[in-house]
Structure 1
Amino acid sequence: MTRVVVLGGTGHIGGYLVPRLVAAGAEVTVVSRGRSAPYRDDPAWNEVSSVVVDRGAEERAGVFGARIRDLDPDVVVDLICFDLDSARQLVEPLRGRVQHFLHCGTMWVHGPSTVVPVTEDAPRHPFGDYGIRKAEIERWLLDENSRNGLPATVLHPGHITGPGWAPINPVGNLDLGVFHALAAGDEVVLPNLGMETVHHVHADDVASAFVAAMAAREAAVGENFHVVSPGAITLRGYAGAVAEWYGHPARLSFLGWEQWREQVPEAAARLTYDHIAHSAHGSIAKAERLLGFRPRHTSLEAIREALDWLAARGEIPPLR
């Protein structure tokens, strides 16, 4: 039985990944801070071992990697690593001890795209702290594979969504008021011409990609893969689809970026800028070819599930 340790396994991806691993016959240990229950209830959690660890504190003490090594894993899945020092501290004690090390990256390692859909071998031009840090981790892990045989695989999700997680909205931020406005038939103002793209992915499809990478280990080791829906969507297309779910056409208007940003709170403007400046649009051809990855959800299907969940909680009006 394969022993799999999942770091951050109670989060949104882990809520789907851990039950999938149990169903596949793995012996699963979840390492988390123990501050929240899993996103999703599932009988599989009764078969999972849990270890409560403050990763930040143990990294400062220099003992986190050894703690994971001592769990004697065959496979380690790291869903919560956000800087290179953290990755190094984890990997060093695991050298020669694990069969497969899987890291959760992000489509934002690319920065702005030149040709879309962007492929994994496109030149990297990351910007912003998150994208830059994740690109550093990716580069180091894959270099460690080529130089020293580290059995690493990096998977790059897009905008993760689904039940339990509010989706990035049609203006590129997390303001639920945009969905209220679309429900009411009110005018929604999009930045620029609304032609920038967002590339959502259902959390269960991300989980399925990790399982597929483990199953296709020989093809996956030393490689990076995009994990997104079959196609990105434009902001205006997204707004139009949501309005249709509420039974009417979208009423849209447009403002240039500098004008638009003055209409919203600063934090919302920063988040929108990150999304429209990246305009994520990734190819999954490599993951399809080497891993057999077949996402079950389109972007809009994943978003619809998230919105139905929000509506059931009373956070947005119910959709038709």
Structure 2
Amino acid sequence: MSQQHVVVIGATGHIGSYLVPRLVRAGYRVTAVSRGTREPYHADAAWEQVETVVADRDAEAAAGTFGTRIAGLQPDVVVDLVCFTLDQARELVEALRPTGAFLAHCGTIWVHGVADASPLREDDPKEPFGPYGTQKAAVEEFLHAETRSGGLRSTVVHPGHISGPGWPVITPLGNLDPGVWEALATGGELLVPGLGLETMHHVHADDVAQLFELAVARPEVSVGQSFHAVSDRALTVRGFARAAAAWWGREANLRSVTWEEFRAAAGEHAEASWEHLSRSHSASTEKGRELLGYSPGTSLDAVRAAVEAMGLLPRR
């Protein structure tokens, strides 16, 4: 059997930095497509075996040439980590349809909108809100309809809050405010909107890459399916804060306030907190575990790796 060719779009981002080396080590021929504006987040000797293509997706898609350029690489599999709109998905699918390639698309657990039950399952009714989740849900629906109709084969992987070394991480308050980590490290007071029982579901970027690798390896199982790429369990605001404070040998100093009080105190970070906490997501990984053998790590390990890389904690 000839070596399968995998084209990864968005290859040097959070997920791709882990996925590309995984695919190389698994024996695939890999082409990494990116804007060429940065190196992968992590050095890995596997990158020496990777073909690279520099492409500005927005500009080329506007000209109607991006999809045909990807198809021209003659891939067996395309992993699309940076598709955010239905128009982007349509252009790529129409170009790939005649090739017989298999498309693995990166979605988001935000396709679920506000959670009505916990843990969320992939086939739960979806009522997304906001442009990001709404567009991703539309892409998922489009891809599954395409596959059901006998067109391009595809699968969808829905990450939670992607964490890991190299970039800021969502804090226990659902935002990127560095002051949250400072308060937890020093015993300072943290204002918590409401009771702090809302949940967030983090995942290490390498665990998202793990699920993509598993889906690519077993298209006979993954085609036509969606999978949640999240950690073993979600965390509540309070549970997350208490566990994180313990990294510095502290107890979390939390005070419940109304959302109005929180917004006044949090300022520019308040909206991000609302976006994350109002959804209160906790997603099931049962489907990925049973069908593909997915085995993610914990939310706390994923977040701690990021906090250590930020220089806020000594590495273990």
Shorter-chain TM band: over 0.9
2:222 is matched by which residue type in structure 1? A
- Secondary structure of 1:96's match? helix
Shift of residue 149 of structure 1?
3.1
Question: Which residue of structure 2 lines up, in the alignment, with residue 79 of structure 1?
Answer: 81
Aligned to 2:282: 281
Deviation at 1:319, TM superposition (A): 7.5
Residues of 2 paired with 1:99 and 1:64: CA distance?
A: 16
Q: Residue 243 of structure 2 is aligned with which of 241, 244, 251? A: 241
Using the size of structure 1 for normalisation, the TM-score is 0.96
Task: Find out whether 1:9 has 2:6 as its counterpart.
Answer: no
Aligned residue type for 1:121? D
- Residue 269 of structure 1 aligns with which residue? 270
Structure 2 SS opposite 1:278: coil
**2:256 aligns to what SS in structure 1?**
strand
State the superposition RMSD in angstroms.
1.1
Shift of 1:231: 0.5
* 1:257 counterpart residue number: 259
Deviations 1:31-81 (A, max 9, x none): 110000111100001000110011111011111100000000000000000
Q: Residue deviations 1:247-271, cap 9 Å, x none?
A: 02111101111221111123x1111
Describe the SS at the equivalent of 2:166. Answer: coil
Query: For each residue in 1:291-314, what CA deviation from the matched residue of structure 2 results, as whole angstroms up to 9, or x when unmatched?
Result: 11111x100011111111111xxx
Aligned length: 314
Out of 186, 195, 211, the position equivalent to 2:213 is 211
1:46 maps to 48
**1:178 counterpart residue number:** 180
Q: Conserved in 1, the CA contact under 8 Å of 2:14 and 2:205? A: yes
Unmatched segments (≥5 aa) in structure 1: none
Alignment of 1:34-73 (within 5 A): 34-73=36-75
Amino acid at match of 2:281: A
2:32 matched to 1:30? yes
CA displacement 1:145-190 (0-9 Å, x = unmatched)? 1113321000000000011122100111001111011111111111
Q: Distance in 2 between matches of 1:89 and 1:149?
A: 14
CA shift at 1:96, angstroms? 3.2
TM-score (structure 2 length as normaliser): 0.97
Following the alignment from structure 2 to structure 1, what is the Cα–Cα distance between the partners of residues 226 and 264?
38
Question: Matched residues in 1 for 2:261 and 2:252: separation?
Answer: 21
* C-alpha distance after superposition, 1:109-136 (max 9, x if no partner): 0001111001011100100110000000
1:221-262, Cα deviation, whole Å (9 max, x unpaired): 001010100100001111101111100211110111122111
Query: Residue 307 of structure 2 contacts residue 313 of structure 2 at CA under 8 Å; is this kept in 1?
Result: no
Give the unaligned 5+ runs of structure 2: none
The residue aligned with 2:300 is: 300
Deviation of 1:318 after TM superposition, in Å, equals: 4.3
**Aligned residue identity for 2:309:** W
By how many angstroms is 1:99 displaced? 3.3
Contact kept, 8 Å, 2:18 with 2:205, in 1: the verdict is yes
1:92 aligns with 2:94: yes
* Counterpart code for 1:105: G
Q: Pick the aligned partner of 2:129 from 119, 127, 130.
A: 127
Q: 1:317 deviation in Å?
A: 5.3
Distance 2:233 2:174 in 1: 17
